[in-house]
Amino acid sequence: MALALLPPSPASHRRSLRPVSSPPLARVTPAARFCPAFFSSLSPGSCSLQRTGAAGGDGDGAGEGSSEAPVAGWLDADLLRRVSGAADADQALDIVAESSGGAGAALEAPECNAIVAAALDRGNVELALSVFEAMRSGFAGVGGWRWARPDVRTYALLVQRLAAALRVSDAIRIIDCVSRAGVSSTEEVPFGIIVRCPTCMVAVAVAQPQDGTQVVSCSKCRYQYELFSGEITSIESEEVSMDISALEKALRFINIRKDGLPAAVHSIVISAPSGTARTHRFATQTVELPAQEGERVTISLAAPSNVYREMGPLKISARSQGFKPGEPMCLTNHINGQVSKLLRAPSKNEGSFFVSPYLLVGALALLASGDAASAFIDPSLPRLIAATAVASAAVGTTLNQVVLPEIQKLPQKAVDIVAVRQQLLSQYDILQSRLKELKQFAQKEVWMLARMCQLDNKILAVGEPSYRCVQ
């Protein structure tokens, strides 16, 4: 944010506070001088606040100016007083055009800021917001007169004065507009939502408002995924509780089994912009819903069975290891940007793998056949069967964990171009994350400034004669 680029206000400038009964709360009060450094840079030293109970003034605020009052240019005090009483930006521009009597021209940014400051000094917050929206739109008024584009001082002025007037929601909205500076408020084309790889959690694609289904590849893990975007039309959730055996607990403790335990099962219906609707069933590690009904989301699925590449007579699908075709893996909420990892929904009749009847019956049959055959063939046959079983398990594990995953991955040459695109998306994602953190920090400062100004108003209301605050 460039709001911190304002020049420091002089430490010697002092202002008496206006009583609560006076309408213009938008004027910068001494509490506003304690606004954190994000909005303005105050000179170091001791800052003394003097409050006079008899402080007053006229309602239009013509006698007082801000410590950082914008330069009015050719607008005199009488014209500013008339303009600050207008109902909206169009009426204010008509007053300016009538007073000038010349051909239409574009107002400079300092002159627009002076009009905004005069409106806020008079307590006409609606006019200040209307002028700001007109400055963002850039449309011409009567006689060819037009507003200038907002600059850094415009945003800083509005944020500080609106927070001082306890219009916190409007001040936060101005902060949101800073990140969209230079874009018309009436014609905004959204970039979209960054979607991350469910396996690597790096940016792989952009889900735009018109997108429904798309198949993307990741250059890092070299797997393919299907993205389905749309609005949630219905959602059903059920809290579950799973009992696991002591053996499974031990395997999870030593990190052999790393999959989490589901706490809730959700079934959602997503409708794409094209009208296609899909039902997805998945589980989450917490009982919290990853999204609400009516919100737009993007669900990342394992590569479907119809997405494959041919290797001779074989059809190989670049699907992430351990997932079935089309199985939900991750969900991205477009409203808050939250990314939720999804688990496989447990079956109602599904039990533990280690107490499966197929495994138990097969093991008992193998052991019984070995004991029976050892009396007729060879006494060492049980040991041979055990060694064969261990060797088969080792070979199967090697094939499943090492060989097959490497064969399923996309060739490196096939994802070289994708790697460049992912690098650009990752840089954009980092910038957006930093901007989001900065905006959250600025919003906290706005709330702090509003609380301090509210405290000033309460001190005035109780009639305390004076107070002093030393930095």
Same domain? For 152 and 264 the reply is no
pLDDT digits (tens, 9 = 90+) for 263-282: 889 999 999 999 899 999 99
Same domain? For 238 and 337 the reply is yes
Same domain? For 297 and 343 the reply is yes
Tell me if residue 270 falls in helix, strand or coil: strand
**How far apart (Å, rounded) are the C-alpha atoms in residues 231 and 261?**
27
Same domain? For 65 and 210 the reply is no
274 falls within a domain:
yes
453 falls within a domain:
no
For residues 157, 158, 159, 160, the Cα torsion angle rounded to the nearest 10 degrees is 50
397 falls within a domain:
no
Q: When comparing pLDDT for 461 and 448, which is higher?
A: 448
Tell me the three-class secondary structure of 146-165, residue by residue. Answer: ECCCCCHHHHHHHHHHHHHC
Same domain? For 161 and 275 the reply is no
Q: Which helix (H) or strand (E) holds 387?
A: helix 381-398
Same domain? For 154 and 280 the reply is no
pLDDT digits (tens, 9 = 90+) for 127-149: 999 999 888 887 666 667 788 88
117 falls within a domain:
yes
Ranges of beta strands (E only) in 110-223 are 193-196, 203-207, 213-217
Q: Among 344, 320, 327, 328, which residue's Cα sits nearest to residue 405?
A: 320
Same domain? For 183 and 202 the reply is no
What average pLDDT is seen over the chain?
74
Q: What is the CA radius of gyration of the chain?
A: 33
DSSP state of 143: G
Q: When comparing pLDDT for 317 and 12, which is higher?
A: 317
**How far apart (Å, rounded) are the C-alpha atoms in residues 308 and 303?**
8
Q: What is the domain count for the chain?
A: 2
Same domain? For 204 and 145 the reply is no
61 falls within a domain:
yes
pLDDT digits (tens, 9 = 90+) for 79-110: 888 888 888 888 888 888 888 766 667 788 88
The residue from 165, 187, 209 where one domain ends is 187
Q: Which residues pair with 279 in a beta bridge?
A: 269
pLDDT on residue 271: 94
Confidence of residue 311 (pLDDT cuts 50, 70, 90): confident
pLDDT at 230 over 90: yes
Tokens of 355: 């107490």
Same domain? For 114 and 199 the reply is no
399 falls within a domain:
no
224 falls within a domain:
yes
**How far apart (Å, rounded) are the C-alpha atoms in residues 224 and 330?**
13
Long-range CB contacts (within 8 A, 24+) of 428-432: 428/194, 428/203, 429/194, 429/203, 432/194
Same domain? For 22 and 152 the reply is yes
* Chain centroid offset of residue 273 CA: 22
- Answer yes or no: are the C-beta atoms of 204 and 216 closer than 8 Å: yes
**How far apart (Å, rounded) are the C-alpha atoms in residues 168 and 28?**
15
Same domain? For 170 and 198 the reply is no
394 falls within a domain:
no
Same domain? For 242 and 282 the reply is yes
12 C-beta neighbours (distance < 10 Å), count: 7
Whole-prediction pTM value? 0.63
pLDDT at 387 over 60: yes
**How far apart (Å, rounded) are the C-alpha atoms in residues 294 and 450?**
33
pLDDT at 62 over 50: no
pLDDT at 358 over 90: no
CB-count exposure of residue 118 (10 Å: 0-12, 13-18, 19+): buried
pLDDT at 27 over 60: no
Residue 25's domain comprises 2-187
Residue whose pair of structure tokens reads 């001494």 in the numeric block:
30
Q: Among 143, 148, 108, 145, which residue's Cα sits nearest to residue 132?
A: 148
